[in-house]
């Protein structure tokens, strides 16, 4: 089966010019297969696009899930989660590009967010709840908090990658995690968190 080869090729092609500017013939050429074989693996261009998001989305979810399911305090989990998030997107920059461009990340009006995105939100929602239960995070709608976290991670990562192309994933993740802590934590916990971070660093 050529499914995975097609998806990683499509990822590179879509990353170059976006979904609409990319042609099925380009995807096939990038994969080194024929159009017929491409259509043997996926019935349509749209399905390739969706399968790409399922494929990378599942990997992405698994990577973050592995970080978040460690039995640790919410503050540590947040750190680990952010590192997983940042690490994955930096290793898969093409996917990041595709996702930023046309990932249906943000539901607006009647356009639903994509399933992978919704699953990602659920992961972080659970962490938000844990942080609230621990008294670390401010009380608010955890799903909304998760969405903000997701968005801020994406935006900051994109901006920081653009501005400092040579920064390591660890550096970027640390900066982003600090911003998230400020956004999420109860003020009275922030000092303790900062102290803890200082010790870790």
Query: Could you list the residues that contact DNA (CB under 7 A)?
Result: 2, 22-25, 33-37, 39-40, 43-46
Q: How many CB atoms lie within 10 A of CB 63?
A: 19
User: Nearest-CA neighbor of 15 among 69, 57, 52?
Assistant: 52
Task: Record the tokens describing residue 186, joined without a space.
Answer: 């109860």
Question: Minimum CB separation from DNA for residue 139, in Å?
Answer: 48
When the beta carbons of 8 and 148 are compared against a second copy, the nearer one is 148
| Binds 135: which of a second copy, DNA, none (CB < 5-8 Å by kind) | none
3-class secondary structure, 168: coil
Question: Minimum CB separation from DNA for residue 21, in Å?
Answer: 7
| Binds 43: which of a second copy, DNA, none (CB < 5-8 Å by kind) | DNA
The dihedral of CA 67, 173, 49, 26: what is its sign? negative
Sites of contact with a second copy (CB under 8 A)? 15, 20, 93, 96-97, 100-102, 106-109, 111, 138, 141, 143-144, 147-148, 150-152, 154-156, 158-163, 179, 182-183, 187, 190-191, 194
Q: How many CB atoms lie within 10 A of CB 185?
A: 22
DSSP 8-state class, residue 113:
P
């Amino acid at each position: 089966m050529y499914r995975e080869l097609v998806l990683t090729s499509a990822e590179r092609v879509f990353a170059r010019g976006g979904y609409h500017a990319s042609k099925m013939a380009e995807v096939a050429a990038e994969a080194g297969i024929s159009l017929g074989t491409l259509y043997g693996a996926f019935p349509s261009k749209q399905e390739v696009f969706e399968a790409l998001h399922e494929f990378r989305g599942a990997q992405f979810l698994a990577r973050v899930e592995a970080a978040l399911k460690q039995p640790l305090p919410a503050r540590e989990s947040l750190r680990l989660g952010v590192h997983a998030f940042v690490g994955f997107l930096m290793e898969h920059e093409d996917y990041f590009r595709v996702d930023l461009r046309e990932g249906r990340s943000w539901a607006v009006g009647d356009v639903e967010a994509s399933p992978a995105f919704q699953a990602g939100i659920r992961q972080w929602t659970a962490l938000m709840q844990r942080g609230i239960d621990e008294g670390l995070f401010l009380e608010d709608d955890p799903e909304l908090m998760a969405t903000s976290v997701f968005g801020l991670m994406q935006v900051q990562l994109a901006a920081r990658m653009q501005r400092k192309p040579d920064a390591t994933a660890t550096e970027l993740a640390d900066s982003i995690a600090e911003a998230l802590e400020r956004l999420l934590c109860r003020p009275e916990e922030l000092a303790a968190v900062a102290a803890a971070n200082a010790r870790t660093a």
